[in-house]
Amino acid sequence: MILLNPGPVCLSPGVRRALLAPDLCHREPEFFALQAAVRARLVEVYGLDPSRWAAVLLTGSGTAAVEAMLASLVPAAGRLLVLENGAYGERMSAIARAHAIERVRVDAGWGGALELDSVERALDANPGVSHLGVVHHETTTGRLNRLDALGALCRRRGVQLLVDAVSSFGAEEIDFEGWGLAACAATGGKCLHGVPGLGFVVARRDALAAACRPARSVYLDLALHHAEQDRGGTPFTPGLPAFYALAEALRELAEQGGWRARQARYRSLAQRVARGLERLGIEPLLPAGDSSVVLRSYRLPEGMLYAFLHDELKKRSFVIYAGQGALSADLFRISTMGEIADGDIDRLLDAFAEIVRTGEGDPE
């Protein structure tokens, strides 16, 4: 099966083999070495200085990492401004609500562009805002939110920038120092090509040192995980196979040329898909310049239901992804993250051509 959903991804043979590594106790030095290697490689993905930045690992999905970042790094007296233009921005707001973090929001509507002016107005109207939460790649629609000017604004206002980079880490540019990030949350199971179940936060060490005390959560307390991991330990039982997989996936990423090479690879696959679909009259939701290289949303062919398209493609070994929520009636999504070959895309496009032809021939 070729997975064209935004994670879990098709694994490389090396990552699949890594899952079969020997049984391991997480209180033994072999695990501490594995954990230290994964943490070091994560900080290396964007060439960060390990004396200023730390990767903190957390067994859980991407949402666990985002929740740990927000619940841990916004202090009790802090206030969070959340920028929303899709389901994951809304999720950041839901997390803030669940932890009783004081919160204001700027809502650009699903798929809309985040305008700097409206962020500036929200900061003017809410001088107590200490942190800003934003999704880098809003997987709901494929829009890549631009963080350079936003980061500069946060820096001018003394606001800490917290980024959901779950579906961009490893495949899009993230200029931690230049954009002034305090932290970003991500997962090993998307653009890094590991398996689901291991989330992480890459944070400035001084932001971790200022973590909320008392903690809002026991399991999602980043400062606790950070202290234990720096000491060469772990507070809870980690998802070991996901560690093995991510260690190998990060080794392969570095060997293949790092995030820049992955970005180029994803872009080439995404363009192959877009050009092929365009020939069939299937239009993208957003112009290529507004989209990530990771995922694009397309309009369903006139009169075709998503379920029909999905099932016909699945019969031919391809899994695509529905539009989220209300968008499911009009859109479908294709992500080219994971171990995908050019030939897979060519077969996908052949399948599309066949389905569009028969779909039109069928008066049903």
Question: In the set 85, 167, 297, 336, which binds ligand PLP (CB under 6 A)?
Answer: 167
CA dist 116 → 79, 106, 122, 263 (Å): 19, 10, 10, 26
Contact criterion met (CB below 8 Å) for 52 and 201: no
Task: Classify strands 137-138 and 131-135 as parallel, antiparallel or unpaired.
Answer: unpaired
Q: Cβ 196 to ligand PLP, closest distance in Å? A: 6
Between 269 and 355, whose beta carbon lies closer to ligand PLP? 269
Those residues with Cβ within 8 angstroms of residue 360's Cβ, 6 or more apart along the chain or in another chain: none
CA dist 219 → 11, 66, 204, 228, 342 (Å): 29, 13, 20, 13, 41
Q: Cβ 355 to ligand PLP, closest distance in Å? A: 27
Question: In the set 62, 142, 180, 188, which binds ligand PLP (CB under 6 A)?
Answer: 62
Task: Classify strands 181-187 and 198-204 as parallel, antiparallel or unpaired.
Answer: antiparallel
SS3 95: helix
Which stretch in 35-43, 164-172, 225-233, 335-343 sits in contact with ligand PLP by CB under 6 A? Answer: 164-172
CA dist 32 → 49, 159, 238, 333 (Å): 21, 35, 11, 39
Question: In the set 12, 14, 19, 61, which binds ligand PLP (CB under 6 A)?
Answer: 61
Q: Cβ 257 to ligand PLP, closest distance in Å? A: 24
Which stretch in 61-69, 98-106, 240-248, 312-320 sits in contact with ligand PLP by CB under 6 A? Answer: 61-69
Q: Cβ 4 to ligand PLP, closest distance in Å? A: 14
- If one asks whether residue 89 binds ligand PLP (CB under 6 A), the answer comes out as no
Which stretch in 62-70, 111-119, 303-311, 352-360 sits in contact with ligand PLP by CB under 6 A? Answer: 62-70
The number of residues making up the chain comes to 364
Between 137 and 225, whose beta carbon lies closer to ligand PLP? 137
- If one asks whether residue 139 binds ligand PLP (CB under 6 A), the answer comes out as yes
Q: Cβ 172 to ligand PLP, closest distance in Å? A: 11
Alpha-carbon radius of gyration of the chain: 21
Closest residue to ligand PLP, judged by C-beta, is 62
| Nearest to 85, CA basis, from 238, 315, 284, 285 | 285
Between 132 and 355, whose beta carbon lies closer to ligand PLP? 132
Annotate each residue in 205-244 with x if it binds ligand PLP (CB under 6 A) or - if it does not, as one string. Answer: ----------------------------------------
Q: Cβ 23 to ligand PLP, closest distance in Å? A: 26
The CA-based dihedral angle spanning residues 116, 121, 122, 127, taken in that order and rounded to the nearest 10 degrees: 120
Count of chain residues binding ligand PLP (CB under 6 A)? 14
CA dist 42 → 18, 71, 128, 355 (Å): 18, 22, 33, 41
Which stretch in 14-22, 94-102, 111-119, 163-171 sits in contact with ligand PLP by CB under 6 A? Answer: 163-171
Which stretch in 35-43, 45-53, 59-67, 122-130 sits in contact with ligand PLP by CB under 6 A? Answer: 59-67
Residue 79 φ then ψ, to 5°:
-135, 140
Contacting ligand PLP within 186-205 (CB under 6 A): 187
Q: Cβ 42 to ligand PLP, closest distance in Å? A: 16
Those residues with Cβ within 8 angstroms of residue 97's Cβ, 6 or more apart along the chain or in another chain: 103
Contact criterion met (CB below 8 Å) for 253 and 170: yes
Q: Cβ 264 to ligand PLP, closest distance in Å? A: 21
Helix H or strand E encompassing 183: strand 181-187
Between 70 and 250, whose beta carbon lies closer to ligand PLP? 70
The token pair at 114 is 């985040």
| Interface residues toward ligand PLP, by CB under 6 A | 6-7, 61-63, 66, 88, 135, 137, 139, 164, 166-167, 187
